[in-house]
């Protein structure tokens, strides 16, 4: 019996990075937060660097330092406001200015660091909330010799299409602010777009970079975006059939009879339900929502999962399935984003859960 396995195709990540660099004239900030979307920070930074990306963004100071220790000649952007000023200086990490109060409070500590000013927009996690606050912060920085090299925002509605077209509204607000600021000051970095926004609009005019994550890791920005020939799915999660059980109507399997054979699940000829026990469960990082009610692929055919345990799942199969058959939970023909569209959770949510310690992990260069 083979252990459950996670195969990561780094070549796909490389090709995705190349595609994005070409589409943006080289303007890509790779978002590598949370251990490079769980693919492994060092590995993804290396792959993206080799493809030609020279700017990286994360939300943790620990990861920002890790990126700097890999490469001297890249821009490392810490997206969350951070007041470890000595660390930012020492590792040449660019960081975000939270708002006007924040810059006023910290002005004496901020020299010798490259800053990016954030527009809160509808996200409202941090950043300036009004145009006057944004412009006043830029003015204040100039007077106090604090260098603001970039301005940015994060759209809160890029991934969703709502009746009110909220994305168009927040984009319009941002473009007005961005124009106003650019008329008065020069910035090396102007970045606003995540994957969905890039897929909708391409790189926005006057913007230096897109700041994308999930599309680099092989998932389209939104449902309906034609990714074929552009973006490659990058991971394969597989396991094995370790037993095939024949169940009569009324018999159950799993904790608390989590599945009971019934007339709909039984083969019409022999009145038996064939269920395959598979050696992968939630302990390996399979989300509960991804399991029961959704499918796996065995011998190029889809079968529904009917039960989930810590290290096992159960699929309702047929006579053609045998012990030792390979079971795919994710691969290019059964991609992560299919389940995002079916409401299982964000692409990154499904990927982040995968357990690199329990799975056999193989990287393909
Ligand atoms: C995660 C993140 C991104 C990347 O978003 P994707 O949807 O994965 O492309 C961009 N900007 C910020 C601020 C983020 O937190």
Report how far apart the first and last C-alpha atoms of the chain are (Å, whole number).
26
DSSP-based three-state secondary structure for 111: coil
Cβ within 8 Å of residue 148, ≥6 positions away = 97, 115, 116, 117, 138, 141, 185, 187
- Which pLDDT band holds residue 260 (cuts at 50, 70, 90)? very high
Assess whether the C-beta atom of 193 lies below 6 angstroms from ligand 1.
no
Assess whether the C-beta atom of 211 lies below 6 angstroms from ligand 1.
yes
The secondary structure of residue 204, as a DSSP letter, is P
CA of 306 to the centre of ligand 1 (A): 34
Q: How far, CA to CA in Å, does 69 sit from each of 17, 35, 37, 292?
A: 21, 15, 19, 43
Residue 258 reports pLDDT greater than 90: no
Q: How far, CA to CA in Å, does 155 sit from each of 14, 120, 250, 277?
A: 26, 9, 51, 43
CA atoms within 13 A on the CB side of 155: 30
Q: According to the model, what pLDDT value does residue 64 have?
A: 98
Closest atom of ligand 1 to CA, residue 159: 7
User: Helix axis angle, 61-70 relative to 41-51, nearest 10°?
Assistant: 50
Please give the model's pTM, rounded to 2 decimal places: 0.96
CA of 119 to the centre of ligand 1 (A): 15
Q: Is the dihedral of CA 211, 213, 219, 222 positive or negative?
A: negative
- Which pLDDT band holds residue 307 (cuts at 50, 70, 90)? very high
Q: pLDDT for 113-157, tens place per residue? A: 999 999 999 888 899 999 999 999 999 999 999 999 999 999 999
Closest atom of ligand 1 to CA, residue 195: 9
The secondary structure of residue 343, as a DSSP letter, is T
């Amino acid at each position: 019996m083979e252990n459950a396995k996670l195969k990561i195709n780094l070549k796909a990540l490389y090709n995705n990075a190349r595609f994005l660099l070409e589409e943006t004239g080289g303007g890509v900030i790779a978002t590598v937060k949370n251990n490079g979307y769980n693919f492994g920070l060092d590995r993804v930074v290396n792959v993206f660097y080799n493809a030609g990306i020279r700017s990286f963004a994360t939300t943790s100071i620990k990861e920002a330092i890790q990126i700097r220790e890999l490469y001297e000649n890249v821009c490392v952007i810490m997206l969350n406001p951070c007041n470890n000023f000595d660390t930012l200086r020492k590792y040449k990490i660019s960081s975000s200015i939270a708002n006007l109060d924040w810059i006023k409070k910290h002005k004496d500590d901020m020299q010798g660091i490259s800053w990016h000013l954030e527009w809160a927009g509808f996200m409202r996690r941090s950043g300036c909330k009004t145009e006057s606050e944004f412009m006043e912060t830029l003015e204040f920085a100039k007077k106090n010799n604090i260098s603001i090299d970039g301005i940015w925002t994060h759209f809160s509605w890029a991934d969703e299409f709502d009746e009110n077209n909220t994305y168009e509204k927040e984009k319009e607000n941002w473009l007005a602010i961005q124009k106003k600021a650019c008329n008065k000051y020069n910035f090396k970095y102007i970045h606003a777009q995540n994957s969905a926004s890039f897929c909708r609009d391409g790189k926005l005019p006057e913007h230096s970079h897109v700041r994308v994550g999930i599309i680099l890791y092989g998932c389209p920005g939104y449902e309906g975006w034609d990714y074929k020939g552009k973006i490659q799915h990058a991971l394969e999660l597989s396991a094995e059939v370790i037993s095939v059980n024949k169940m009569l109507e009324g018999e159950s399997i799993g904790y608390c009879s989590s599945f009971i054979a019934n007339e709909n699940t039984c083969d019409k000829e022999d009145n038996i339900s064939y269920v395959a026990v598979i050696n992968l469960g939630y302990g390996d990082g399979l989300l509960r929502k991804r399991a029961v009610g959704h499918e796996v692929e065995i011998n190029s055919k889809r079968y529904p999962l009917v039960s989930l345990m810590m290290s096992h799942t159960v699929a309702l199969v047929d006579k053609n399935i045998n012990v030792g058959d390979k079971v795919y939970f994710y691969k290019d023909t059964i991609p992560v984003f299919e389940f995002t569209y079916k409401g299982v959770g964000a692409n990154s949510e499904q990927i982040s859960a995968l357990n690199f310690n329990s799975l056999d992990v193989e990287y393909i260069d």
